[in-house]
């Protein structure tokens, strides 16, 4: 059994390494410029995603907060309205998850900059976004595009690891973005620690 765990870990690690060379440098550079511009102009950044992709988005939001960004997670009770010039970062492997599309559509109507992190540039999310960062991962798109509908109906991905590859690769990619932002902003780990939560559940 332990051999299967090791095999899976090595497979995922190898995939991430290959994916790192496939993500466009131009797309990364523009993404960084969008983020740093939002910080400089005191704009809000919001992140959105469903399921495990949503958890990855939340993890990125936490790090952006540590870096000093004005960042929120869509769906939380304290999340304010999005305004013109703000940024929405939408994470969806398929680019077809209905709840994420609804959020992205609302952000566009408000005049926000929509950034899609997806495996499919030509997906509905990709087509409505101002900027796309293509992260390799999924090779199949589910027949039922609405994440919550799939959960209620009990429809799950026939090959769950395919979704996992996108989510884990995106997590590592966004951590790379955090490191790049630290370098651009001249921040050290101690600077991030100053903003880390000091009121926590024990």
Q: Report d(CA 6, CA 194) in Å as an integer.
A: 36
Catalytic position from the list 167, 188, 190, 200: 167
Known catalytic residue: 167? Answer: yes
> Which residue in 22, 56, 81 sits closest to 178, CA to CA?
56
Q: Report d(CA 74, CA 127) in Å as an integer.
A: 21
Looking at 42-154, which runs of residues are DSSP E strands? 45-49, 71-73, 87-91, 113-118, 131-134
Q: Report d(CA 183, CA 22) in Å as an integer.
A: 22
Give CA separation, 25 vs 21, 65, 154, 166, 201, in Å. Answer: 9, 24, 39, 18, 40
Q: What is the DSSP letter of 156?
A: -
The residues carrying an active-site annotation are 167
């Amino acid at each position: 059994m332990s051999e299967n765990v090791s095999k899976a870990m090595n497979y995922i690690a190898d995939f991430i390494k290959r994916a790192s060379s496939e993500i466009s440098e131009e797309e990364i550079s523009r993404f960084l410029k969008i983020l740093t511009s939002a910080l400089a102009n005191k704009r809000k950044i919001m992140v959105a995603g469903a399921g495990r992709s949503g958890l990855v988005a939340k993890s990125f939001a936490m790090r952006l907060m540590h870096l000093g960004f004005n960042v929120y997670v869509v769906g939380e009770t304290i999340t304010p309205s999005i305004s013109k010039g703000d940024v929405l970062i939408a994470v969806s492997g398929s680019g077809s998850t209905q709840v994420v599309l609804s959020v992205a559509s609302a952000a566009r109507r408000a005049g926000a900059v929509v950034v899609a992190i997806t495996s499919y540039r030509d997906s509905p999310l990709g087509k409505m976004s101002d900027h796309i960062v293509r992260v390799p991962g999924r090779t199949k798109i589910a027949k039922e595009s609405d994440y919550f509908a799939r959960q209620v109906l009990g429809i799950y991905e026939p090959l769950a690891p395919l979704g996992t590859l996108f989510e884990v690769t995106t997590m590592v990619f966004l951590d790379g973005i955090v490191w790049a932002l630290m370098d651009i902003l001249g921040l050290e780990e101690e600077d991030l620690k100053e903003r880390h939560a000091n009121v926590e559940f024990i």
